[in-house]
Amino acid sequence: MRVIPAIDIIDGKCVRLTKGDYATKKIYNENPLEVAKEFEANGILYLHLVDLDGAKSKHIVNHKVLENIAKNTALKIDFGGGVKSNEDVKIAFESGASQITGGSIAVQNPSLFLEWLNEYGSDKIILGADAFDSKIATQGWLESSEKDVVEFISEYEQKGISYVVCTDIAKDGMLQGASNDLYQEVLLKTNVKLIGSGGVSCVDDLVKLKEIGCDGVIVGKAIYEYKITLQELRKLC
């Protein structure tokens, strides 16, 4: 299982939110590259980079942060937030993203999302399945839908998706454990490479997600609040 630290960006700074609420913003570092380099120095190979300004603005905003990290580290970066158009996808890949996560666009404009999947391939395009009460949420989690998250993932698997980042919004930033039951259901009903996200609070949570069969897990606030140390992640990696 891949351990994937997260860097969320607002105004070019490394922040965390709770349950996706922008009013809960907490700045952890004003230099995201510094954070990324520290991850790399501790044996981390992957990074989940989210443009929260982009998610709100509906187009990429912080691509310079992506470019700076990609140029100055060897981290394999999956990038999301505000990827809504062909131009956004082009900017993200040209700025150094290894993969791109599309969430809202996969709900609101599936034909365009599938164009990207067909053009770039299932190793490059990740489905973002963010859910609240098992229903898909969009627009940086500011809007909800009536679409069941497991059905949503299953339908996209049939269309060629391999990688899925699934976030339980109710768990995000709460440091109360991951959504193990949801992930077990997804893995029971599909064969996607599932990346769990939200709620990880300790190393035991990572162990449980590995046992469930997740391909990867995104870790955010647990790192920034020192619930999981980089030394512990180094051992896991």
Structure tokens at 155: 């339908």
Q: Can you tell me the distance from the alpha carbon of 167 to that of 64, in angstroms, rounded to the nearest whole number?
A: 25
Strands (E), the chain: 2-10, 13-18, 21-29, 46-51, 76-80, 99-102, 125-132, 135-138, 143-148, 163-168, 193-197, 216-219
- Catalytic residue of the set 53, 78, 88, 130: 130
User: Is 88 among the residues known to form the active site?
Assistant: no
Q: What single DSSP character describes residue 74?
A: -
Residues pairing with 76 in the sheet: 46
Report the C-alpha dihedral over residues 216, 217, 218, 222, rounded to 10 degrees: -150
130 is catalytic: yes
Contact assessment for residue 17 and residue 173, using Cβ atoms and an 8 Å cutoff: yes
Radius of gyration (Cα) for the chain, nearest Å? 16
Q: Which of the residues 8, 51, 53, 88 is marked catalytic?
A: 8
Active-site residues, by number, are 8, 130
